[in-house]
Chains A and B, each alone.
Chain A
Amino acid sequence: VFIYFSAVRSRESAEGGRVIVEVDDKVAKVRNIKVDSRLDSTWDSREKIVAFSFDYCYWSVDPEDPKYASQEMVFQDLGTSVLSGAFKGYNICLFAYGQTGSGKTYTMMGTPVSYTIRFTLRVEGGIFLEIYNERVRDLLKQSDRKKPYTLRVREHPETGPYVQGLTQHLVTDYKQVVELLEEGIAKRITAATHIHNASSRSHAIFTIHYTQAILENNLPSEIASKINLVDLAGSERADPSYCKDRITEGANINKSLVTLGIVISTLAQNSQMFSSCQSINTITSEGESSHADSPSTGSISGTRRPAYIPYRDSILTWLLKDSLGGNSKTIMIATISPASSSYNETMSTLRYASNAKNIINKPRVNEDANVKLIRELREEIDRLKTMLMSFELVRRNSSQLDDDRDGNLTELVLQNEMKVCLIYLML
């Protein structure tokens, strides 16, 4: 997880925003301005500074600052990660999360693209799409303004997920890729005014397919992989201008409590997470295994998700299926603005980023079968021990008694052993 701090924007300076974030190596610290402003009140004794640690933190606010990270530095770290993975044949998935204007598009789109292209990988084609409300639109094709999100994602068992009717564009050099990107981004921005808040609640994915020519056993061969650049939604909530619309609109009480579904599904989801943890603990405590507090405990098939929640943000994960887990590298960049006016936003972004590792589904183990197996094996071990011990005993006794009879006794024990063997083979 990378954290990127952009420069304070001019609008923020005009609003009198103060810098409330500081970076200490890989730790980002946020000062709580709300607490600051009521220092006199004695009831609030919470910590004023909250710290989050990440793999990398970049401070690109003030070029004079000794900690200042230039674009070059960011490009280098990020680009190198992306590229080293890509060379090995991994699919790369780069997520960006953060407020609009905090520079995420620039950071994300600029870095890996330029690196990939410059480093002689052969780019095959690019697609650029936007997901809103589980529907997709092509950002590289003119679409109906009233109903732009008409494409559907479908899955094929052999060829994987695909968007029906999406255009793929042939690109051969860096310039063409940038042109495609710019075209799509422009389309996203203009469309935002036509569709109700769509852009702030939509995800965008730019995918580059590329191939690498290699020699395998002296035969020319190709490694095909892709780079997914994902611009995640969900960070516009605290934008002051955005809220204004909602408030005026709010006077008219409509039939649909817009977020009720989300509230309910969050409830179900949370309680599901909790209860599935619980059930795993129950199984392990009933069984003999003592790994109840291990984070990786669970089941791969037995304790599947106990509930089904129709509201899922699933298209995104669908499309990135081959890029999450398995032969892929996932990088998360959270971009934040250090200004005080973005406090809420910054906090939610940082919290989100530090939870980012949990986005990806993890395989689990079925404990049903395991509990039984463990019990059984314990019994076998006990039998084996008894058997071997009795053998030892007999051997020692016999060697003390009479060396001549040793052979006979050994044979006798062996015969017994075989019987025991046969018995538990049948069990």
Chain B
Amino acid sequence: QSLFSRVNTESYTTCDKMGRHNFCFLKSIVLEHAYIRMRTDKLFGENNNLGILWSERDEIKTAQTYLESAEALYNQYMKEDGNPPLDPSEHFMAEEEKLTDQERSKRFEKAYTHTLYYLAQVYQHLEMIEKAAQYCHTTLKRQLEYCGYYPVEWALNAATLSQYYLTKECFMESRHCLAAASVIFSQAGQVPSAEDNETEQDQQDLRQRKAEIARCWIKYCLNLLQSARKLLEDNIGELDPDRQLELKAQRKKEEDEKEKGRKKAVLFGTSDICDSVLAMEEKVSSVYPLDFQEAREIFLVGQNYVQEAKEFFQVDGYVTDHIEIVQDHSALFKVLAFFEEDYERRCKMHKRRIDMLEPIYADLNPQYYLLISRQLQFELADTYYEMMDLKVAIGNRLEELDSHTIKKINSLAQLAIKYYELFLDSLRNPDKVFPEELEEDVLRPAMVAKFHIARLYGKLITSDSKKQLENMQTSLEYYTFLVDYCEKYPDAVRAVETELELSKEMVGLLPTRMERLRAKLCPFI
């Protein structure tokens, strides 16, 4: 720091002598920048994903002060002068070696890009997340403007940034990043590789990156649909038609003005890139879909990207990635089903989910893919449950429940039970014994599975009273498990408060009901 201020003072003195005001700006920016580089490089270095970096807050604050003043100086300088200042190295060069204006400008702008890039990191570490994202965005934008980027790397960064916007439900920004990523990525294939012997691996890498960008698109479509669902659903998770009308009217009103205002600030690229990006954007909407038709269009785009991503991430070699993509595909169907009014068609969509998840689950060795196989068990169980619910709803519309529908309902319920049981079996220890005390991370899933099974046994339809009694007895046992477990391990209560409360009620009510049923079965005893 002392070195910095000394040189800085000197430079100001020189400036005064020479009467070149602008030079001062340059010098201080450049020097501050050099100093900041040193500091920030030291601070941020090359931290890796696993290391949760916690540098000293003081140091970051100092860096922030310097960087922000560098940023302000740049802005002021560009406003007041506009010509590129001398590069620091030029002070030590002979007159004839001096840089061209163009080169000078390039270096100056690059230095400023770096300032923004460091600021992004500073804000990130100060947990000013939105500001950090904004600076990342600007950095990307400037890299593009000044042609300082590697296409693949840039595209991947833009695609990743799109995922940040997704979590903030900024779909327009997210789509813009993705469209730009796709456009810039397509440049990469056109650049011939320098070393031919590496091409095979490079090609492989390139294909992987392309598939990764496709996966970001899948998430985009999925999140857009899911957010729309959240807006449209009523308190039991069905589409609320009043809300639908309301949102449609609202959309008409705001559509134009708002979007255009927001867009200007984040737009990437020079005019020709911009045109390609806009063309890319037109392929999928960035506003919430409000009816089945709109939802279907987004669904189809997502589904195309599912195919594209699966081309690279094949199950043989990329099990986890492949399954994650299939899970997204299933989730796309699930959210599309929400928009579908017809129960039969809705049921078919869930059947598609079963058809894609079941074979994958069957081939999976839980020894290596425990978590994912548990996820699949749970999702399959839930999907069967959902289908059963739909069949019940369809049955209720009929005059009388026909035996075919009853059979269907029962078999769906049995399948749901089967997968919940498989999940519970996965918790058994190597000796196949169900653990006395559940680990915290599986506590809630396990209790919920027990609770759902209890409920399902209560829903099985049978005209045979004895069978009905048996089912009630099984149901009671599962509810009792929850109650007993929470009595034994009171810490578990807070994980399943509602489930416990209801289970207690059922444990109280079911025996009386069973008694009545028994009394009716053998009225003379």
Interface residues in chain A, defined as those with a beta carbon under 8 Å from any beta carbon in chain B: 34, 88-90, 150, 154-161, 197, 201, 232-235, 237-238, 242-243, 246-247, 250, 253, 255-268, 270-272, 274-275, 282, 286, 288-291, 293-298, 300-302, 304, 306-314, 316, 318, 321-322, 325-327, 344, 347-348, 351-352, 355, 359-366, 368-378, 380-381, 384-385, 387-388, 391, 411, 414, 417-418, 425-427
Contacts and interface: CB of A to CB of B under 8 A. Distances in A.
A301 B375 contact: yes
Interface of chain B, main secondary structure? helix
Contact of A304 (B49, B56, B150, B327): B327
B163 A262 contact: no
Contact of B167 (A197, A268, A388): A268
Contact of B166 (A304, A307, A359): A307
Nearest to B107: A253
Interface string B63-83: 000000000000000000000
B93 interface: no
A158 B53 contact: no
A286 B369 CA distance: 33
Interface string B15-43: 00000000000000000000001100110
B190 interface: no
Contact of A385 (B49, B499, B509, B523): B509
Contacts of A262: 47-49
B22 to A, nearest CB: 22
B481 interface: no
Nearest to A201: B48
Contact of B442 (A237, A363, A384): A363
Given A260-B117, A271-B129, A373-B452, A237 B167 contact: no
Interface residues of B, number: 125
24 contacts: A160-B365, A234-B51, A235-B51, A242-B45, A243-B45, A247-B41, A250-B37, A265-B49, A289-B499, A300-B445, A304-B331, A306-B167, A307-B216, A308-B163, A308-B216, A308-B219, A321-B368, A327-B429, A348-B52, A365-B448, A366-B379, A372-B236, A373-B452, A381-B502
Contact of A253 (B111, B236, B379, B459): B111
Contacts of B448: 365, 370
B131 to A, nearest CB: 10
A342 to B, nearest CB: 13
A23 to B, nearest CB: 21
Given A263-B136, A264-B161, A391 B516 contact: yes
B1 to A, nearest CB: 14
Contacts, number: 328
A289 B318 CA distance: 37
A267 B445 contact: no
Contacts of A156: 316-317, 319
Interface of B: 37-38, 41-42, 44-56, 58, 107, 110-111, 113-114, 117, 120-121, 124, 129, 132-133, 136, 139-140, 143, 148-150, 153, 156-157, 159-161, 163-164, 166-168, 201, 209, 212-213, 215-216, 218-219, 223, 226, 230, 235-237, 315-320, 324, 327-328, 331, 363-371, 374-376, 378-379, 382, 385-386, 389, 392, 395-396, 401, 429-430, 440-445, 448, 451-452, 455, 458-459, 461, 494-499, 502, 505-506, 509, 512-513, 516, 519-520, 523
A304 B218 CA distance: 13
Contacts of A352: 50-52
A20 B14 CA distance: 45
What are the 5 closest A-B residue pairs judged by CB atoms, nearest first?
A160-B368, A234-B51, A301-B379, A307-B163, A155-B319
A300 B442 CA distance: 10
Contacts of B216: 307-308, 310
Contacts of B499: 289, 374
A242 B347 CA distance: 60
A256 B114 CA distance: 11
Contact of A291 (B120, B133, B497): B497
Given A247-B38, A325-B370, A363-B374, A275 B396 contact: no
A308 B212 CA distance: 8
Given A264-B161, A322-B368, A237 B47 contact: yes
Nearest to A318: B320
Given A325-B370, A388-B509, A255 B167 contact: no
B327 A371 contact: no
Contacts of B502: 374, 377-378, 381
Contacts of B445: 300, 363-365
A272 B216 CA distance: 14
Contact of B396 (A306, A360, A427): A427
A157 B363 contact: yes
Contact of A267 (B113, B132, B386): B132
Given A264-B161, A347-B54, A300 B212 contact: no
Contacts of A274: 167
Contacts of B455: 373, 376-377
A201 to B, nearest CB: 6
A363 B371 contact: yes
A282 B42 CA distance: 41
A150 B497 CA distance: 52
A275 to B, nearest CB: 4
Contacts of A268: 160-161, 163-164, 167
Contacts of B107: 253
B222 to A, nearest CB: 8
Instruction: Kindly name the residue among B132, B385, B395, B448 whose own CB sees the greatest number of chain A CB atoms within 10 A.
Output: B448
A89 B429 CA distance: 10
A6 to B, nearest CB: 19
Contacts of A297: 444, 495
Contact of B56 (A34, A234, A263, A295): A34
Contact of B317 (A154, A387, A417): A154
Nearest to B163: A307
B378 A365 contact: yes
B361 to A, nearest CB: 10
A306 B494 contact: no
Contacts of A298: 444
B45 A237 contact: yes
A266 B124 contact: yes
A362 B441 contact: yes
A294 B319 contact: no
